[in-house]
A and B are shown apart, each in its own frame.
Chain A
Amino acid sequence: MSAERWAAVAVSSEGRRTLSDRSALVVSLCFYAMVSTILATLWRTAAAGHGGEVAGYTGRELTWYIAMSEACTVTLNIRMIELIGQDIASGGIAVELLRPAPVLWLRALGELGRALPRMVACALLGGALSWLTAGPPPHAGTWLLALPAMLLGVSVNLMAQHAFAAIAFWIRDARSTWFLYQKLVFMVGGMLLPLQILPHALRTVAFGLPFMAMAYVPARLASGHFEPALLLVQAGWLVVMAAAANAVWNLGQRRLQVVGG
């Protein structure tokens, strides 16, 4: 089977698996609805008590911002780093090395396939909830730009998580590291709050890190800011993260030692 065929199979089979597990999909959508509603309510309340806006965002813009930033994050398995680490530490990944295709790419494409149905569902649900609670999108055109940005953001996050999880090739027990990674996405990635709210020094750092491509960029576009150049920034980070993940996995696989069968 060619590499392209393996890729197509990885994406489509995992996508079908997500769709067939209805209850898991419903749980993740309910979780998304809860977390985005609570956070959007917090920011709308803050804006209302602060002259109608916070850091240049109105209550409506903040609602659409949070709907998108949460959708980008909830779409992926939050514990992916832990699960990859377990597969590496247990040696389970050795079986995947037997396939005539690179392990990293098959895993990443499989995760992307798994994420796609959730991505569509979260975008629709988030759009409906935001419309109901705060009104229509601040700018329909930028909301449409936010959709490819969402796909790019999830892809950057996916590659970065694989690069990060590969630490398990060296330290074996990487279970807790996903907490730290997620906090970086939450804060300097702009998932919990627009980066403009951060103090100046932290904001400068955040704009120079790949995490901003994962949540901030799609959310910034969804909140009505016409900044198409942000898509190029995301594409750049995707190339960098994919290259980093590839390099780390190539190095790590040479260190893999599996005992027993």
Chain B
Amino acid sequence: MRTLRSVLATLRAAVAEARANPGSFWTQVVTMAVNDLAWVAFWVIVFRKVGTIRGWDRDRILLLFAVLTTDAGFVLGVLANTKRIPEMVRDGELDAALTLPTPTLPHLLVRRVDAVNIGDCVFGVVLFLTLGHPTVGRTLVYVFGSLTGAAVMAGFLVAIGSLALFTGRGEPGELGLHAIILLSSYPVDIFVGATKILLYTAVPAAFVSAVPARLIDHVDGGQAASMAGMAVALPLVGWTVFTLGLRRYTSSSLWTRA
């Protein structure tokens, strides 16, 4: 309970910091929404030309994009430090956090809010409500898919970013971030063989967008259970890798803000 209170207090401070310059905050939110509109235009143009691609049509790809912008926007916006773990390790930003009487990982994850990606999250919700044919049932599945997708993505980013604690290098984290965002932006069924297996395992991009999008269209108990399982497993993997790696962390002797 005390941990939850401290995490919420840290999150409130991070939101206040992000909104300290309201003009800049809203400019970034709106810019990202316009940026996302360009992607919507891309998919509309593609499917206007080709009709369907391996069972994916315009409506389903927009559903995929709504889920992706919602869950990735939440992770990269509200838990912005998930993408900065290698950088924080390199710059010694863990030092100050380690002195606090709160669990290090939750504190770090909510310590920074990125307005740009909040725009993504808002866009995703608006896209679903406008073009996702929302009904009560579909909305519940959308919320479930977005939350579990966010958990999968956050867990993966923490795990891959925490490799920097072992290797001292940030490249795996950077490539992992690129890979999961890129691979979850496209219909999973265009891939075959080993690549497709990769998307359900080592880089679980399918669980960030494609599986939730399919679930919204067609609820399937088995897929929902696998989604929930991944949403529990990936954060556990992330937590474990970070905790083990933290034992090897050596200070950079730089004083940073907690």
- Which residues of A are interface residues toward B (Cβ below 8 A)? 23, 26-27, 30-31, 34-35, 38, 41-42, 45-46, 49-50, 54-55, 173, 175-177, 179-180, 183, 186-187, 192-193, 197-199
Which of chain B's residues 8-58 have a Cβ closer than 8 Å to chain A?
A: 23-24, 27-28, 31-32, 34-35, 38, 41-42, 45-46, 48-54
How many angstroms between the C-alpha atoms of A257 and B182 in the bound complex? 41
Contact in complex: B35, A41 (CB < 8 Å): no
Residues of chain A within 8 A of B54, CB atoms compared = 45, 49
How far is A179 from B24 in the complex, measured between Cα atoms in Å?
15
Inter-chain pairs besides A38-B183, A46-B49, A183-B34, 16 sampled, C-beta below 8 Å: A27-B174, A30-B178, A34-B183, A41-B191, A42-B186, A45-B190, A49-B54, A173-B23, A176-B27, A176-B31, A177-B31, A179-B32, A186-B42, A197-B46, A197-B49, A198-B45
- Knowing A45-B54, A50-B50, A187-B42 are in contact, say whether A173-B24 is a contact too (CB < 8 A): yes
A42 touches B53 (CB 8 A): yes
* Residues B35 and A183 in contact, CB atoms below 8 Å apart: yes
Enumerate chain B interface residues (CB-CB to A < 8 A). Answer: 23-24, 27-28, 31-32, 34-35, 38, 41-42, 45-46, 48-54, 116, 169, 171, 174-175, 178-179, 182-183, 186-187, 190-191
Contact of B169 among A23, A31, A193, A198 (CB under 8 A): A23
- How far, in whole Å, are A54 and B171 apart by their CA atoms in the complex? 37
Taken together as a complex, chains A and B put the C-alpha atoms of A175 and B31 apart, in Å, by 10
Question: What separation, in Å, do the CA atoms of A45 and B23 have in the docked complex?
Answer: 44
10 pairs, CB–CB < 8 Å, chain A vs chain B: A27-B171, A27-B175, A31-B175, A31-B178, A34-B178, A35-B182, A42-B187, A46-B50, A49-B53, A197-B46
The main secondary structure of chain B at its interface with chain A is helix
Q: Is the CB of B38 within 8 A of A183?
A: yes
Contact check, B53 vs A34: say whether CB atoms are below 8 A apart. Answer: no
Chain B residues near A54 (CB-CB < 8 A): 49-50
Closest chain A residue to B37, Cβ basis: A183
Chain B's closest residue to A172 (CB) is B24
- Whether the pair B28, A176 counts as a contact (CB closer than 8 A) is yes
The chain A residue with its CB closest to the CB of B52 is: A49
Query: Closest approach, in angstroms, between the C-beta of B156 and any C-beta of chain A?
Result: 15
